[in-house]
Amino acid sequence: MQSRPQNLSEQEIIRRIKLNKIKEIGIESYPAASYHISSCVKKLVENYKEYAIANIAGRIMRIRIMGNASFSVLQDHSSFIQLYVRSEKISNYNIVKKLLDIGDIIGVKGFIFKTSIGEISMHVKNIVILSKSLRPLPQVKSDRQGKIYDVFSDIDLRHRLRYVDLIVNESVKTVFCLRSRIIETIREFLNKLHCLEVETPILQNISGGASALPFITFHKSLNIPLYLRIANELYLKRVIVGGFEGIYEFARDFRNEGIDRTHNPEFTILELYVAYKDYYWMMDIMEKLLKTICMKIYNNTEIKIGNKTISFTQTFPRIPIDKSIEAYTGINISGMDEDSLRKVCKNLHLKDDKTMGKGKLIDNLFSDKCENKYIQPTFIIDHPIEMSPLTKKHRKKRGLTERFEFFINGNEIANSYSELNDPIEQLKRFKEQLQLAENGDDEAMFIDYDFIRALEFGMPPNAGIGIGIDRLVMFLTKTTSIQEILLFPQSKTKA
């Protein structure tokens, strides 16, 4: 008696036995040759022509054997179609009947017809095995009372086995198709502005461009530590120094922070920089971009999320951050020093430890008391200098900068500046960040002397923006968790 292999289920053993039988017959279960496909299933159904011959390929999702005939459902990347097979019409019917399983990938040739109930199907004349599946797929079942069983819905398992999730949950595939269309629409929009798509380093000598804790690695040949980028901002500004006037990058950034429904350690951000513009211009562009995306995806400038209707029709409100905090706390923070802000945070039971400077205390106040209140698209503008080390001082308001954060549905989607291009002032701001680091703030910025040198050659005034693509996709696909719009979200490895 053959011993049972360790860790294999009964179904997995049966499938391996079938695999061996297929090999014994002399059929290759994983052939190397290309398989000719004449049409995807969706187009075949949409352009239905009775008795038209077609070659299609995909995965078997259901099988029902009825003696000398069988019905199955084949799924390709586009849709599903029913397959009808009769024993006298196909030479390898015994393989279909005894050795094929749900999950197997096959190529089929046959003609298209409608069943007596009007379902478009394929009458199969030939079947080729393209990949034998050795593990069973989750199969949704229901009892006579209509109760559903075995739905592949466990969140942790879905994220770990995303490939299975994509096979069995059609709505998941739709989300990632929408993500691709959103990014494509943004590219088209920016290209029409005559902006150039560029690429900048992921491995960086200095972890700069944002306030965040980096991932650190080591380059063996150069014998130096390197950082996975937390932002691509400072490199893109170097490109502006070099003479390009409109550039953008879809960047994969990395921040060594916690994981929750809006944060993942690696994420996608679009950064755009346009010379001779300011943050007012960028607010106008952001409004136009959002309206363009909504029309492209939904053919509407209003989106319903639950019982909320979010509108992109009107000009978005522009609210100074101190006015926002006052509106939701009753406290006017204008002109407050660090000690006063610390007392405010303490009285409101917010974090106020000694590593937090003035900028972080204000950010903490806003994040906790205000951020989730902005359901309709809103610009929060004119942040204090301490919150914005890479931003120009406000042309009219002392102690503030020309910066906005953009919010939809209670989440920050974008961050934008009139970019600081004074090298002397920028070095001063970096040194203030260094002081915060010495006080224990592990998210404070490094001094990037090469970036200062670039500014000393002269950088034209410009407006920059970073748009969180993952959060934008979450909103536009009406998804509540960032893990649902990442193909492979980060999680602990399980044995």
| 205: CATH | 3.30.930.10
The count of C-alpha atoms lying within 13 angstroms of the C-alpha of 204, restricted to the half-sphere facing its C-beta, is 23
| Number of other residues whose CB lies within 10 A of the CB of residue 275 | 18
Residues 301 and 429 in one domain: yes
CB 98 within 8 A of CB 30: no
Cα dist from 224 to 204, 219, 221, 256, 359, whole Å: 11, 6, 8, 20, 32
Residues 81 and 209 in one domain: no
β-strand pairing of 203-204 with 224-228: antiparallel
CB 318 within 8 A of CB 404: yes
402 in a labelled binding site = no
371 in a labelled binding site = no
| Residue located via tokens 């549905």 | 409
Instruction: With respect to residue 74, please indicate whether it lies within any of the assigned structural domains.
Output: yes
Best CA proximity match to 314, nearest among 379, 405, 411, 404? 379
pLDDT at 341 over 60: yes
Q: If you write DSSP's letter for every residue of 5-56 in order, what string do you get?
A: PTT--HHHHHHHHHHHHHHHHT--SS--S-------HHHHHHT--TT-EEEE
Residue 103's region, left for phi above 0, alpha for psi from -120 to 50, else beta, is left
DSSP secondary structure letter of residue 421: -
Instruction: With respect to residue 4, please indicate whether it lies within any of the assigned structural domains.
Output: no
Residues 90 and 189 in one domain: no
Residue 270: give the domain boundaries.
Answer: 171-317+376-485
At 279-326, the pLDDT tens digits run: 999 999 999 999 999 999 999 999 999 899 999 999 999 999 999 999
Residues 98 and 203 in one domain: no
Instruction: With respect to residue 362, please indicate whether it lies within any of the assigned structural domains.
Output: no
At 399-421, the pLDDT tens digits run: 999 999 999 999 999 999 999 99
Instruction: With respect to residue 367, please indicate whether it lies within any of the assigned structural domains.
Output: no
pLDDT at 134 over 90: yes
pLDDT at 1 over 50: no
Q: CB within 8 A of 58, min separation 6: which ones? A: 41, 74, 75, 76, 77, 105, 106
Residue 137's region, left for phi above 0, alpha for psi from -120 to 50, else beta, is beta
Instruction: With respect to residue 166, please indicate whether it lies within any of the assigned structural domains.
Output: no
Which pLDDT value is given to residue 211? 82
Q: Which of 4-13, 130-139, 225-234, 423-432 has the lowest mean pLDDT?
A: 4-13
How many structural domains does the chain have? 2
Residues 132 and 176 in one domain: no
